[in-house]
């Protein structure tokens, strides 16, 4: 991982449901790391993402089998000096992120992209990069860390 004083780009993806779109691969090209917030559905998705950057993934409610059993339900990691907690469903978030000095919480499950700051913690749901659900957008996200400051962006991958 690059020095934390440099610009670091962390790709955020969730709810791929066994679909790796060319648009998501293009969006993630050049990132330093990728966080997948679950509902992967097949390890081939993680293999494809790992061709771009190191991947950290958590298990979603649709991830089953020995490969999925090896994934944690949640994980906290530090990238570029930023503490990031990843869990599939926000309802499964345990503890108090501000008290635990977590800077960012990344979730999925709802398929609804969102960026919200609560009690100094950035909550990001990149939405779903997999099959379209209802009229929700097909999307992914990005964390940009520069000089120990983090911001998030969402990107609509498919417009029609």
Helix (H, G, I), strand (E, B) or coil at 31: coil
Q: Give yes or no for a contact between 149 and 81, defined as CB atoms under 8 angstroms apart.
A: no
Does 3 have pLDDT greater than 70? no
Residue 98 CA neighbour count, 13 Å, CB half: 5
Where exactly are the structural domains of the chain?
8-158
The Cα 75–Cα 88 span in angstroms is 10
Rg of the chain over all Cα atoms, to the nearest angstrom: 14
pLDDT in tens, 71-96: 999 999 999 999 999 999 999 999 99
In the chain, the percentage of residues whose pLDDT exceeds 90 is 89
Residue-wise DSSP of 77-146 = EEETTEEEEEES-GGG--S-TTTTT--EEE--SS---EEEEETTEEEEE--BSSS--TTPPEEEEEEEEE
Fold assignment, 8-158: Purple Acid Phosphatase; chain A, domain 2 (3.60.21)
Does 17 have pLDDT greater than 70? yes
């Amino acid at each position: 991982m690059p020095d934390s004083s440099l610009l670091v780009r962390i790709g955020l993806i969730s709810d791929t449901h066994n679909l790796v779109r060319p648009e998501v691969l293009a969006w993630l090209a050049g990132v330093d790391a990728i966080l997948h917030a679950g509902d992967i559905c097949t390890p081939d998705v993680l293999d494809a993402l790992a061709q771009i950057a190191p991947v950290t993934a958590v298990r979603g409610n649709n991830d089953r089998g020995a490969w999925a059993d090896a994934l944690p339900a949640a994980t906290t990691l530090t990238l570029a000096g930023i503490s990031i907690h990843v869990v599939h469903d926000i309802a499964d978030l345990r503890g108090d992120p501000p008290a635990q000095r977590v800077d960012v919480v990344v979730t999925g499950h709802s398929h609804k992209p969102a960026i919200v700051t609560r009690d100094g913690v950035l909550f990001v749901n990149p939405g779903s990069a997999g099959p379209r659900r209802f009229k929700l957008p097909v999307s992914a996200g990005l964390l940009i860390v520069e000089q120990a400051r983090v911001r998030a962006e969402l990107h609509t991958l498919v417009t029609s």
